[in-house]
Structure 1
Amino acid sequence: MAPSNPSLGEAVAAEKPETLPSDTVLIVGGGPVGLLLATVLAFYGVKSLILERNQTTTKWPKMDLTNARSMEIFRKLGLADGLRERGVPSNIPYTVIISSGLSREKAITQWWHPSVDEYRKQIRTQNDGTKPLEPYQRISQSIFEAWLKESCDANPLIDLRYGNKVEIVQSEGEDVKVTAVNSQTGKRVDFISRYVVGCDGSSSKVRTGLGIPLDGGPVPGFALLVHFKSKDLARLQKQGQFWHIFFVKDGGMGGAIIAQDEVDTWTVHLFLPLDADHESISSEEAVYSVLGGMGEKYEVKIDEILVRSTYRPNVAVSRSYSALNGRVFLAGDSAHQNIPTGGYGMNMGIADAYDLGWKLSAVINGHGKKGLLDSYELERRPVAALSVEHSKVHNDVHGALGKLLLPDATVINHDSKEGEALREKIDRHYQEHDGENRDLGIEMGFHYKSPINIPDDDDSVHAPVWTASRYIPSTWPGVRAPHVFLNDGTPIFDHFGKDYTLIEFPSAVDLGSKHIADAAKENQVPLKHVVLPGEDNASKIWEKHLILIRPDGHVAWRSDSTQDPSSAKRILDAIVGTQNGEAKEKIAFGVSGSGVVSTQSEEFVLEKMGDLQK
């Protein structure tokens, strides 16, 4: 009989190696990033095989917000409506409360984020390019992941195999060999594939097996998480309906509760020092302790404890996103890990999956070149560094409570001048530092810098100044193109093609768009040409007459005209990765004290990483 949990050494005799067709991508890890990568590949007609070590999807809520940029990606894939149907209803606002305990009638302060319905009204009214097309959506990862798995199971281009734990990834000539052990049979199977993507989480076997180092490490302290059912809304929502409540406790930020579905499912986080004995704390006690804040324990009727675990966040970025001469890639938590503040972690993975997915598909389908794959690391890695830095910025807002509560935290619940003054001080602090889940510049204002984006040839025009708090609309090459509603009420994004799109705002003279279209046809690059006459608002926001859009909605090139067929060919060669790749400079990205991504040489350094590990 095969061992129930065989290691590689104990595994029974290996089966015959399974060689995948050259047009099939092997994905290690069937969590949300791996499932979405397979979905993106299938969207572009490319097959994939997913190997997932677990027997089913996660029971844990994990992430609880799909941000606006991620929702734009799901809209492109035709999945936005299905995701929203399973999430929190669209009329419920996303209120974040700061409380000293539910025994008090009023919270200290709150951040109000509009409901999806309210956000849509803002987007429709403020048609100036500064807003996303899609609002965010609250949805628990346990629901999100199960739904995405169902979608993958129904897709004939996706082969999803649960219960296969990958142990070894190594070179096999020009291909990659992946060795996995089936947890049911104990049999070892070798898979041979042209391309492999590690979406296997923070302890990635793909990354560690290939010796790719991480820069960063775990943060001090950990959290005890209790996921539970309760319909005791009168007591839970005593200070108002909420998405999150952060609780002041023991002279600092002591815990939080998350409303997962606005019905009966909740998750409590009890923040503990590293030397705490979490096993001595019952699940019920953890819930009551967090909800009590600075006061006595606050009991609610718990109907069921669903799951319980501990969690110690890591803050890290992989030193490389690829290996084995561009045959193996990392995406999601295998490439970067983040603390939860800001909600950047899984949303970063979603963007990784789409970026790598369309680029791999273009190469496999024949019109993309190696430079496209090289651009994945050049573009996505600095964005990971940016999100890591700003999740720390958001975390520091909560971390500042310790100093704000001095000299006497206990007065916070007193109905006295001292208590009122302390509560007002905390209120001001949170209102002055309200960027968490609000900073659109982090979510969609980043600028991809790689050779597949062609800079303006007009030296008098400068790239938009980046700011964390706002998305500044621009069509500067490398940035996300601005959303705008056209005269007929349709969003310009809905006119994009599946692959590349040439947007033309025509003028009285010939702009030479035919040269771009002819070059695309000659190079067999799929291109949709969209002509938009009379669109004064959109034309003003989009800045140029001709804008070439990548499959991910970022700008590849722009100009007011192109009259030279040879220039058009050079443009098409560059955007599909023909002219770059082989001479790629080995660089890495760090985060400066100002939060702006900076280029460094030799080693990847997050300058403030040490602060998180003290």
Structure 2
Amino acid sequence: MGAQQVNTAQAEAARVETAQVVISGGGPVGLWLAAELRLNNISVTVLEIRTEIDNRSKALTVHPRGVEVLASRGIHQRFLDESLKISTGHFANLSNRLDFSVMDTPFPYTLFIPQARTEALFEEYARGLGADIRRGHRVTGFTEHADSVTVRVEGPEGPYEIQTEYIAGCDGTRSTVRDVAGIEFPGTDSRYLGWLGDVLFDNPPAPGFNRFTERGGLMIVPLPDNRWRIAGTSPDSETREWPGDLTMDELRQKVIDIAGEDFGMRDPSWLSRYGNATRLASHYRRGRVVLAGDAAHQHYPTGGVGMNVGFQDAFNLGWKLAATIDGWASDGLLDSYHSDRYPVGEQLMEHSRAQTYLFHAFTPEGMALRDLLSRMVPESREFSDVLAGRLTALDVAYPSTDPTAHPVTGTRAPDLALTDTDSTLFGALRADSYVLLDLTEDDALADRAQQRVTVRAGAPDKTRPAWADVRAALIRPDGHVAWAWTEADDTKLAAQVDAAITTLNL
């Protein structure tokens, strides 16, 4: 072998790197997953094909459960400082809005913040924790082995490989990771098209402009830099053929048809159409491949929930993947990612499809249905709360397989006050361990702290009926209840806690 061939071979060999987890996709979902892994000291490389953040923000909101997730890692204040708080939400743009202010959360509002800014804050957070984030790099394929994955990457300086333990597909609806893994993505193609434009206005409407008539539906909201987001639907939106790219003249005419004027719109920075293709991955985890966000679910952008569901996927996945790599995961823990989040995806598909129909219900019958549902929002608190709970993800609960489990098992734990610190439960949550809530009033469980269990004392919560009889609860790193006990005898209670800790391999 000649000298040039030897040098080439050495260069090829030098292009093999290692990381415990490779994440394909550096949007909000991939970045949040990277941060969760780094909080567990897992080495992670994020590969993102875009060289910079896309300022055309698809998502504009962080819903209440999303803010709770941020608070559970102590980074919510930055978002609160930069966001507009909106205490209501909409279901299919019905005229009567859902009231978030009555919900059991310290954050009874949606944060209005462009996705580009959310992504920038997530990237800053993940990099600060030590995540290796590479822009301009993309996964071209991978080979799964019994105990590792060889990931093939194309970067600015050419191809290379990364040897990793797991690969996470956070790379959108056209996910390369999902396709290479052979994970099916069944569902339905687009039948309806919505449209949007980010523009300047010479005569802007009042913030929160909403209108729905037989001529179409229209929402207009303010963006940074004096821009405005126009989003709408119209009777001509039902189609199975792509009508071509949206033009400024077309957008202007649609707005005039619905609102009666164009508000002096000009200088568009983004014009787009979006469809209601609806698909759900058959598996969120297969072998050493995991999916999260749009790689796992595709839907019509109703209610601004897509990004929120995505990084809540990552919130569920991160600690489980880390525990599996570190060797302290209980049997089936990583498989529970699918069993936890797949039903959430199914519900997302159902609600998205229902709202899609209402967004395009321009017939007299459709308008009557919209009016009926809209009247039910203020008339029925139960109806309104169900819709709000699903929109905000505050109602997400992961069912227990134990029929004798306490009713709060699997639910998200509320932000209970603690008596041994001036903090609350959200402030006590950690990505790498469980929190044991000691609600005995006499600190009967204070000595149960372990490497993966932090004990925090609180008082029995008589303000929440579901929690009134709970004397102890074990809270997962993602804030959901793993176990809850009502045992009155402290000795027996401690034995029950010990058994649960053993079962969880903590």
Whole-angstrom distance in 2 between the partners of 1:62 and 1:392:
19
Give 1:221 deviation, angstroms.
Answer: 2.5
Letter in 1 for 2:345: A
Question: Do 1:93 and 1:114's aligned partners in 2 also have CA atoms closer than 8 Å?
Answer: yes
Unmatched 5+ stretches in structure 1: 1-12, 100-108, 124-129, 407-421, 464-475, 579-614
Over 3 Å counting, the alpha-carbon distance change for 1:552 and 1:565 in structure 2 is same
Whole-angstrom distance in 1 between the partners of 2:132 and 2:141:
20
Question: Do 1:32 and 1:145's aligned partners in 2 also have CA atoms closer than 8 Å?
Answer: yes
Give 1:356 deviation, angstroms.
Answer: 0.6
2:359 paired residue number: 398
1:162-201 alignment to 2 at 5 Å?
162-182=135-155, 184-185=156-157, 187-201=158-172
Give 1:268 deviation, angstroms.
Answer: 3.2
1:495-510 alignment to 2 at 5 Å?
495-496=428-429, 499-506=433-440
Q: Once the two structures are superposed, what CA deviation does each residue of 1:476-502 show, in whole Å capped at 9, x if it has no partner? A: 211112334568996443344552111
Over 3 Å counting, the alpha-carbon distance change for 1:345 and 1:188 in structure 2 is same
1:370-385 alignment to 2 at 5 Å?
371-385=332-346
Over 3 Å counting, the alpha-carbon distance change for 1:267 and 1:140 in structure 2 is farther
Whole-angstrom distance in 2 between the partners of 1:29 and 1:553:
25
Give 1:554 deviation, angstroms.
Answer: 0.7
Over 3 Å counting, the alpha-carbon distance change for 1:543 and 1:135 in structure 2 is farther
Give 1:432 deviation, angstroms.
Answer: 2.3
**3-state DSSP of counterpart to 2:440:** coil
Letter in 1 for 2:198: H
**3-state DSSP of counterpart to 1:502:** strand
Give 1:352 deviation, angstroms.
Answer: 0.6
Query: Under a length normalisation based on structure 2, what TM-score does the superposition of the two structures give?
Result: 0.84
1:563 paired residue number: 492
Over 3 Å counting, the alpha-carbon distance change for 1:432 and 1:45 in structure 2 is same
Query: Under a length normalisation based on structure 1, what TM-score does the superposition of the two structures give?
Result: 0.70
2:27 paired residue number: 31
Question: Do 2:65 and 2:394's aligned partners in 1 also have CA atoms closer than 8 Å?
Answer: yes
173, 178, 194: which one aligns with 1:202: 173
Question: Do 1:33 and 1:332's aligned partners in 2 also have CA atoms closer than 8 Å?
Answer: yes
1:448 is aligned to 2:418: no
Give 1:68 deviation, angstroms.
Answer: 0.6
1:332 paired residue number: 293
> Bigger shift: 536-545 or 197-206?
536-545
Whole-angstrom distance in 2 between the partners of 1:274 and 1:372:
43
Over 3 Å counting, the alpha-carbon distance change for 1:191 and 1:224 in structure 2 is same
Over 3 Å counting, the alpha-carbon distance change for 1:175 and 1:405 in structure 2 is closer
1:71 is aligned to 2:67: yes
**3-state DSSP of counterpart to 1:382:** helix
Whole-angstrom distance in 1 between the partners of 2:203 and 2:317:
44
**3-state DSSP of counterpart to 1:223:** strand
Q: Once the two structures are superposed, what CA deviation does each residue of 1:199-231 show, in whole Å capped at 9, x if it has no partner? A: 000010000111110121323032333222335
Whole-angstrom distance in 2 between the partners of 1:259 and 1:364:
44
Whole-angstrom distance in 2 between the partners of 1:405 and 1:329:
40
Whole-angstrom distance in 2 between the partners of 1:493 and 1:277:
46
Letter in 2 for 1:456: T
Question: Do 1:316 and 1:338's aligned partners in 2 also have CA atoms closer than 8 Å?
Answer: yes
**3-state DSSP of counterpart to 2:74:** coil
Letter in 1 for 2:309: M
1:482 paired residue number: 414
Over 3 Å counting, the alpha-carbon distance change for 1:280 and 1:311 in structure 2 is closer
**3-state DSSP of counterpart to 1:389:** helix
Question: Do 2:190 and 2:278's aligned partners in 1 also have CA atoms closer than 8 Å?
Answer: yes
Identity of aligned residues (%): 24
Over 3 Å counting, the alpha-carbon distance change for 1:343 and 1:277 in structure 2 is closer
Over 3 Å counting, the alpha-carbon distance change for 1:114 and 1:486 in structure 2 is farther
Whole-angstrom distance in 2 between the partners of 1:84 and 1:507:
34
Give 1:72 deviation, angstroms.
Answer: 0.3
Over 3 Å counting, the alpha-carbon distance change for 1:263 and 1:431 in structure 2 is farther
Letter in 2 for 1:446: V
Whole-angstrom distance in 2 between the partners of 1:365 and 1:570:
22
**3-state DSSP of counterpart to 2:479:** coil
Please report the RMSD computed on the Cα atoms of aligned residues, expressed in angstroms.
Answer: 3.5
Q: Once the two structures are superposed, what CA deviation does each residue of 1:436-455 show, in whole Å capped at 9, x if it has no partner? A: 9952146122321366xx55
Letter in 2 for 1:144: T
2:427 paired residue number: 494
Whole-angstrom distance in 2 between the partners of 1:114 and 1:295:
26
Over 3 Å counting, the alpha-carbon distance change for 1:431 and 1:397 in structure 2 is farther
572, 595, 614: which one aligns with 2:501: 572
375, 378, 393: which one aligns with 1:431: 375
Q: Once the two structures are superposed, what CA deviation does each residue of 1:337-361 show, in whole Å capped at 9, x if it has no partner? A: 1222233321111111111111122
1:218-367 alignment to 2 at 5 Å?
218-230=189-201, 232-233=203-204, 236-237=205-206, 241-242=207-208, 245-250=210-215, 253-261=216-224, 263-271=226-234, 272-274=237-239, 278-279=243-244, 282-283=247-248, 285-294=249-258, 298-323=261-286, 325=287, 327-367=288-328
How many positions carry a matched residue from both structures?
483
Question: Do 2:181 and 2:289's aligned partners in 1 also have CA atoms closer than 8 Å?
Answer: no
Q: Once the two structures are superposed, what CA deviation does each residue of 1:477-534 show, in whole Å capped at 9, x if it has no partner? A: 11112334568996443344552111122167x96x368x2xx63xx4x211122247
Give 1:536 deviation, angstroms.
Answer: 4.7
1:410-425 alignment to 2 at 5 Å?
none
Whole-angstrom distance in 2 between the partners of 1:534 and 1:449:
24
Whole-angstrom distance in 2 between the partners of 1:436 and 1:528:
33
Question: Do 1:503 and 1:532's aligned partners in 2 also have CA atoms closer than 8 Å?
Answer: yes
Question: Do 2:485 and 2:493's aligned partners in 1 also have CA atoms closer than 8 Å?
Answer: no
Give 1:245 deviation, angstroms.
Answer: 2.2
Question: Do 1:220 and 1:274's aligned partners in 2 also have CA atoms closer than 8 Å?
Answer: yes
Give 1:173 deviation, angstroms.
Answer: 4.3
Letter in 2 for 1:161: R
Whole-angstrom distance in 2 between the partners of 1:433 and 1:397:
15
Q: Once the two structures are superposed, what CA deviation does each residue of 1:158-207 show, in whole Å capped at 9, x if it has no partner? A: 1110111211122134201111212x34x111111011111000010000
Question: Do 2:92 and 2:355's aligned partners in 1 also have CA atoms closer than 8 Å?
Answer: no
Question: Do 1:247 and 1:254's aligned partners in 2 also have CA atoms closer than 8 Å?
Answer: yes
Give 1:138 deviation, angstroms.
Answer: 1.3
